[in-house]
Structure 1
Amino acid sequence: MTDRAAVLAALADPHRLAMVDALAEGDLAPGELGARSGLASSLLAHHVRVLEKAGVVVRRRSDADGRRSYLSLEWSPLVSVAVAERDPRAGARPARVVFSCTGNSARSQMAAALLAAERIVPVASGGTDPAARIHPLALDELDRRGIVPAALAPARLDDVRRDGDLVVSVCDLAYEQCGGDLHWSVADPALEGTTRAFAAAFDDLVPRVRRLAATLASSSTEKIS
């Protein structure tokens, strides 16, 4: 009850609720969140601390640049209900969604398979330095969840990406190297190489993909110019 009251109190402020809406679309560095909110750095820091203390937001150090950090939502049921529905491409449904990471062997493959299962838009994935094969533990995790892989092997992002794609980076290094329309700072399960790590990465992706699927399903089918 105390935790729920803390979350509700944190979400009651209009500035913090707007920050949560922004983070629902994708993870942001504090400076990026500040630019979106228009808040002074001291006020932004105060609101972030309140959200962190309530367990609404977590801060994760970049896997690529250790000096950089990203703010992410903790997707509790209360937070999931509180966030507003938003279309990441201003109302126009993209031609495709492309997930990117470094090796295209784990996180981007699981995210692509999750969204492809929704059958809303075509889905692909690619890596900045693709591995030779999809990680066996990623395939095991998809099989355990009853989801079919969206690809047979890793691909190079430059060969996959096209105009009109919505590119979602699920890897700090790929995002900081190549950018993307959205960024999800998901820890690389291959570094630990355990079933537990792959399950945790999958669980991290589920609410994000679910929200993206909902916004895509409700967005306009008008072609993006």
Structure 2
Amino acid sequence: MSTEWLAQVERRAALHGALADPGRLAVVDLLSRGDASPSELAAHLALPSNLLSHHVNVLVAHGLVERTRSEGDRRRTYLRLLPTELGPFTTALPRPRRVLFVCTANSARSHLAVALWRRASTVPAASAGTHPAGAVDPGAVAAARRHDLDLRDARPRQVDTVRLDGDLVITVCDRAHEEIGLTADAHWSVPDPVRVGDDAAFDHALDELDRRIRELAPRLVAA
């Protein structure tokens, strides 16, 4: 019997053990929708901070969750669900009328997310920014061209002029997520490729957006 196979079985058993607690499973279920700070999780779950911290520490120790630092206020910590041998966590979610991707400048990540979303789902999608730039960043246009995505009609727009009732709002930028008054249904903490400026940064952002979109799109089912 393969030693490697036995090690994989033991690893999967350990992951199942980590998820056996209802509190930890609830944390994972929420993080399967998007990243969240500990305070956001505590508000959703009505858990005392010490108990939530314990659950998060167990999930981190088992490689189910990782902590990242906000690019916005640079103090906040976000918790992100990691891929595992157990596969994606795919509880169904109500199908929205539209998905709205929001970042700060609406010049790169949110437009790329819309282009990727249109490949993966028939649910309509749009994008907007909390502080729109004057134009789509050239690096985003170049990245779209490399990946055969269409940004020809993309232009930055202010979120208040775009958002509609019934939108599923997903922030793809820490700074936008932390804007006072902007309430999002999910948050994806995707590093800003414009800040770095090279092809690798834009390709990394595209890969991360694509992974998350491919996990979310099949979960949106009609009520």
TM-score bracket, normalised by the shorter chain, equals 0.7 to 0.9
Q: Equivalents in 1 of 2:125, 2:146: separation in Å?
A: 21
For residue 141 of structure 1, what is the aligned residue in structure 2?
A: 143
For residue 122 of structure 1, what is the aligned residue in structure 2?
A: 124
For residue 111 of structure 1, what is the aligned residue in structure 2?
A: 113
Task: Tell me the SS of whatever aligns to 1:185.
Answer: coil
* Partner residue of 1:86 out of 92, 108, 133: 92
State whether structure 2 residue 45 is matched by structure 1 residue 42.
no
Q: What pairs up with 1:45-194 in 2 under 5 angstroms?
A: 45-76=53-84, 78-80=86-88, 83-87=89-93, 91=94, 93-149=95-151, 151-177=153-179, 178-194=182-198
Q: Would the alpha carbon gap of residues 11 and 187 (structure 1) be closer, same or farther in structure 2, given more than 3 Å must change?
A: same
Is the 1:75–1:207 contact (alpha carbons within 8 Å) kept by the matching residues of 2? no
Q: Equivalents in 2 of 1:120, 1:95: separation in Å?
A: 10
Identity %, equivalent residues: 46
Q: Equivalents in 1 of 2:51, 2:90: separation in Å?
A: 23
Task: Tell me the SS of whatever aligns to 1:58.
Answer: strand
For residue 202 of structure 1, what is the aligned residue in structure 2?
A: 206
Q: CA deviation at 1:151?
A: 4.1
Partner amino acid, structure 1, of 2:109: R
State whether structure 2 residue 201 is matched by structure 1 residue 219.
no
Where does the alignment leave 5 or more consecutive residues of structure 1 unmatched? 221-225
Is the 2:90–2:219 contact (alpha carbons within 8 Å) kept by the matching residues of 1? no
Partner amino acid, structure 2, of 1:176: E
Q: Would the alpha carbon gap of residues 123 and 77 (structure 1) be closer, same or farther in structure 2, given more than 3 Å must change?
A: farther
Q: Equivalents in 2 of 1:119, 1:213: separation in Å?
A: 6
Task: Tell me the SS of whatever aligns to 2:178.
Answer: helix
Partner amino acid, structure 2, of 1:219: A
Q: CA deviation at 1:124?
A: 0.7
Between the two proteins, the alignment pairs up a number of residues equal to 213
* Partner residue of 2:33 out of 25, 41, 59: 25
Is the 2:36–2:80 contact (alpha carbons within 8 Å) kept by the matching residues of 1? yes
Q: CA deviation at 1:189?
A: 1.2
Task: Tell me the SS of whatever aligns to 2:190.
Answer: coil
TM-score normalized by structure 1?
0.84
Task: Tell me the SS of whatever aligns to 1:134.
Answer: coil
Q: Equivalents in 2 of 1:85, 1:149: separation in Å?
A: 32
Give per-residue Cα distances to partners, 1:136-158, cap 9 Å, x unaligned.
22223233333333842222222
For residue 223 of structure 1, what is the aligned residue in structure 2?
A: none
Partner amino acid, structure 1, of 2:202: F
